[in-house]
Amino acid sequence: MFEPCVLIPVYNHEHAIGAVVQAVLAHGLPCILVDDGSSDACARVLDALAAQSPGRVMLVRHAVNQGKGGAVLTGFRHAAERGFSHALQIDADGQHNAADIPRFIDEARSNPHAAIVGFPVYDHSVPTVRKYARYLTHVWVWINTLSFAIRDSMCGFRVYPVAPVVALAKRRQLGLRMNFDPEVLVRLHWTGLRVINVATRVSYPTDGVSHFQAVRDNVLISRMHAVLFFGMLLRLPLLLGRKWLSR
């Protein structure tokens, strides 16, 4: 049974989240908002969105900010409890093209045991430094998977089957901040979950808010890559055997 929902982690995006939710609802999908300890101003906006669309917008709230990964994992647990089979993750800042939601959902419906992962097609609004700095993470992901299967591990526009993510989170402590998106894909790939890449237009946040903290998040991401590298070495026979069988 294919029962998708949309999952949006939110932290102080009160100026953009309304348009994102309306774009999601236009596609007829239920929406889980995870308020990750937002300000009172953002919390009021989220309360209003949930009140305006009862049954279509579900609001889950953290009393204290836990980070993007923590919010996404809370959303996955809620999705599992509500019986959803798949969750489409999209950012709250409006950078993702919600018009592509049907393409992602159709791919997930046709490939229910795969992760459908966006790789960005940027417009002029993206800062050049940020655009090219992402490639360092891409290279490490390709090394740690011994594969080019994941074209972009940082884009937060993707569809996951819910059960494998929830099971993985029970077995392993995953990154709770900006290190979540690349780590979860690598670890799911290690389990044999197929990744299907879908091109999607990405623009810089419409509300001008970015919660990426250069020092903290780069340290967390660097540590994550180091841990994954040693994990890859432990799995080397399995990964090489999988590559040989797929030839």
DSSP β-bridge partners for residue 39: none
| CA triple 31-25-179, angle to 5 deg | 45
pTM: 0.89
- What does the alpha-carbon distance between residue 174 and residue 169 come to, in Å, rounded to a whole number? 6
Rounded CA gap, 219 and 203, in Å?
25
Q: Which residues in the chain belong to E strands, given as ranges?
A: 4-10, 31-36, 57-62, 86-89, 114-122, 158-161, 194-202
Banded model confidence at residue 247, pLDDT cuts 50, 70, 90: low
Q: Mean of the pLDDT values across residues 214-218? A: 60
Average pLDDT over residues 97-123: 95
pLDDT digit string, tens, across residues 173-182: 998 887 899 9
The predicted-structure confidence for 144-168, as pLDDT tens digits, reads as follows 999 999 999 999 999 999 999 999 9
Answer yes or no: are the C-beta atoms of 216 and 178 closer than 8 Å.
no
Convert the pLDDT of each residue in 185-195 to its tens digit: 999 999 999 99
Both tokens assigned to 247: 């030839």
CA distance 114 to 185: 11
